[in-house]
């Protein structure tokens, strides 16, 4: 492991894909500096095309970087490629499982590829941990999508890597299985495994991760502790339900918006004005307050603030009611 206590280190990492048929080259990663602390659950977020998959594929030795330095558990991927590969397990987004192998056979084959001696293999133990012990001898083609997802996690653990990368691990699975995977990720992390998680479910990152990086257009837009990242947006809202139908009040320059349910929302920064002062202004405007609720920024707000630009077109997944912009870089 590196002396700095980093499970993964990327320094000035660049990747440029050559253009085809007269097209200009595409720079997928533009000098990325990223450090994943040992023992953390590290979230890697970004819109489609931001460079997340390229970064992961470089770690997995599936894509050759253009320039820069990368080390995994202290092993440089160029100088010590075998040790670097042995230090990481990657759970891909695609369900690439041979349908004619049983989970036990797939695990044994994977262990053989990593050179794990038969006496040290933990096939049944790992399958039991991911809830597939009773399916050990069933053909993979008979497994449900959720079971196949768990088998991918199991295959990534056969060589007991200290770093595990989960690329969209809960994509397309039901809520119950998602919660099970969350619990297992926490359990692995408690045992000392460093987790790198990419996800389109922002509530998943907010629930699991203790540190988050946001990549946009091949560059790191932010990398901070989750709590620090959430504090980037200090904007709050008071949602007021008046006793009857009233016009929107003038509250001395504060932004006031009407809502379809008859309420109105007042946006404010706690550094500039206290909630009590806003309530006093509302009452001074002759409005009788029936109910008050507050709303605070979440990771979705931070994500959109850091990745959305006026010229971006919206396509792809929708998070809540806010569309995630597509970045075709």
pLDDT tens-digit series, residues 20-72: 777 888 999 999 999 999 999 999 988 888 899 999 999 999 999 999 999 99
Is residue 296 predicted with pLDDT exceeding 70? no
Which pLDDT band, with edges at 50, 70 and 90, does 321 fall under? very low
How far is Cα 106 from Cα 154, in angstroms, rounded to an integer?
A: 10
pLDDT at residue 108, rounded to an integer: 95
How far is Cα 29 from Cα 67, in angstroms, rounded to an integer?
A: 10
pLDDT: which is higher, 253 or 325 = 253
Residue 38 near residue 49, CB atoms below 8 Å: no
pLDDT at residue 180, rounded to an integer: 81
Domain 236-296: which topology? Answer: Alpha-Beta Plaits (3.30.70)
Which pLDDT band, with edges at 50, 70 and 90, does 324 fall under? very low
Average pLDDT, the chain: 85
Is residue 302 predicted with pLDDT exceeding 80? no
How far is Cα 11 from Cα 69, in angstroms, rounded to an integer?
A: 5
pLDDT at residue 46, rounded to an integer: 85
pLDDT tens-digit series, residues 124-149: 999 998 889 999 999 988 998 888 88
Tell me if residue 270 falls in helix, strand or coil.
coil
Is residue 315 predicted with pLDDT exceeding 70? no
| Strand ranges in 246-321 using DSSP code E only, listed in sequence order | 255-258, 264-268, 289-296, 313-319
Which pLDDT band, with edges at 50, 70 and 90, does 94 fall under? confident
pTM above 0.85? Answer: no
CATH of 6-87+161-230, one of 3.30.70.920, 1.10.1510.10, 3.40.50.300, 3.40.50.360: 3.40.50.300
Q: How far is CA 314 from the centre of its chain?
A: 19
Which pLDDT band, with edges at 50, 70 and 90, does 329 fall under? very low
pLDDT tens-digit series, residues 263-284: 999 988 877 888 889 999 999 9
Tally of CB atoms within 10 A around 304: 17
pLDDT tens-digit series, residues 204-237: 888 899 999 999 889 998 898 988 877 666 678 8
pLDDT: which is higher, 100 or 270 = 100
Residue environment code for 21-55, b if the CB has 16+ CB neighbours within 10 A, otherwise e = eeeeeebbbbebebbbebbbbbbbbbbebbbbbbb
pLDDT at residue 4, rounded to an integer: 63
pLDDT: which is higher, 183 or 163 = 163
Is residue 88 predicted with pLDDT exceeding 80? yes
pLDDT: which is higher, 172 or 56 = 56
Q: For the chain, what percent of residues have pLDDT higher than 70?
A: 88
pLDDT at residue 93, rounded to an integer: 81
Specify which of 49-58, 68-77, 182-191 reaches the highest per-range mean pLDDT: 68-77
Domain boundaries, the chain: 6-87+161-230, 236-296
**Which residue in this structure is represented by tokens 């500096």?**
33
pLDDT at residue 234, rounded to an integer: 63
Q: Which of 144-148, 200-204, 238-242, 291-295 has the lowest mean pLDDT?
A: 200-204
pLDDT at residue 306, rounded to an integer: 72
pLDDT tens-digit series, residues 2-17: 546 899 999 999 999 9
């Amino acid at each position: 492991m590196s002396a700095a206590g980093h499970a993964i280190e990327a320094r000035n990492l660049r990747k440029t894909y050559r253009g085809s048929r007269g097209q200009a080259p595409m720079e997928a990663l533009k000098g990325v500096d990223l450090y994943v602390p040992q023992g953390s659950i590290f979230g890697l977020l970004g819109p489609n095309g931001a460079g997340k998959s390229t970064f992961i594929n470089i770690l997995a030795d599936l894509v050759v970087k253009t320039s820069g330095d990368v080390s995994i558990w202290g092993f440089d991927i160029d100088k010590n490629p075998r040790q670097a590969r042995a230090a990481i397990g990657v759970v891909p987004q695609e369900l690439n499982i041979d349908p004619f192998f049983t989970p036990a056979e797939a695990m044994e084959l994977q262990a053989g590829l990593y050179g794990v001696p038969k006496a040290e293999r933990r096939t049944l133990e790992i399958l039991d941990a991911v809830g597939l012990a009773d399916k050990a001898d069933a053909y993979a083609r008979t497994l449900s999508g959720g079971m196949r997802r768990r088998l991918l996690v199991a295959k990534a653990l056969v060589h007991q890597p200290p770093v595990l990368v989960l690329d969209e691990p809960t994509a397309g699975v039901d809520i119950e299985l998602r919660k099970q995977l969350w619990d297992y990720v926490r359990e692995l992390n408690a045992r000392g495994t460093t987790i790198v998680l990419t996800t389109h479910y922002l509530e998943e990152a907010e629930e699991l991760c203790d540190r988050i990086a946001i990549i946009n257009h091949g560059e790191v837009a932010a990398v901070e502790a989750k709590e620090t990242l959430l504090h980037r947006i200090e904007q709050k809202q008071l949602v007021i339900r008046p006793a009857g139908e009233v016009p929107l009040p003038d509250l001395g320059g504060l932004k006031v918006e009407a809502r379809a349910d008859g309420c109105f929302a007042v946006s404010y920064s706690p550094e500039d004005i206290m909630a009590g002062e806003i309530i006093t202004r509302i009452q001074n405007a002759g409005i009788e307050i029936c109910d008050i609720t507050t709303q605070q920024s979440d990771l979705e707000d931070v994500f959109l603030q850091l990745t959305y630009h006026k010229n971006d077109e919206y396509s792809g997944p929708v998070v809540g009611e806010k569309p995630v912009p597509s970045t075709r870089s």
